[in-house]
Amino acid sequence: MMQSAKNRADEIGITNVRFMQGDVGKLPFKDESIAVFNCVK
């Protein structure tokens, strides 16, 4: 699923996105530093 999203972003020219996999309870970002994220199980 993540590879499909990466491919689609490339197809339509989106460059300001980062795809990562990890534990939503242990995100490696400072508080209030992310505008949007999506969690899929």
Output the pLDDT for position 41: 62
Residue 35's pLDDT is 74
pLDDT along the chain (41 residues), means of 10: 90 91 82 76 62
CA distance 15 to 18: 8
Q: Which domain holds residue 33?
A: 1-41
CB contact at 8 A, 15 and 1: no
| The predicted structure's pLDDT at residue 22 | 82
Residue 3 phi, psi dihedral angles, 5° rounding: -65, -35
User: Looking at the 3D structure of the chain, how many domains does it have?
Assistant: 1
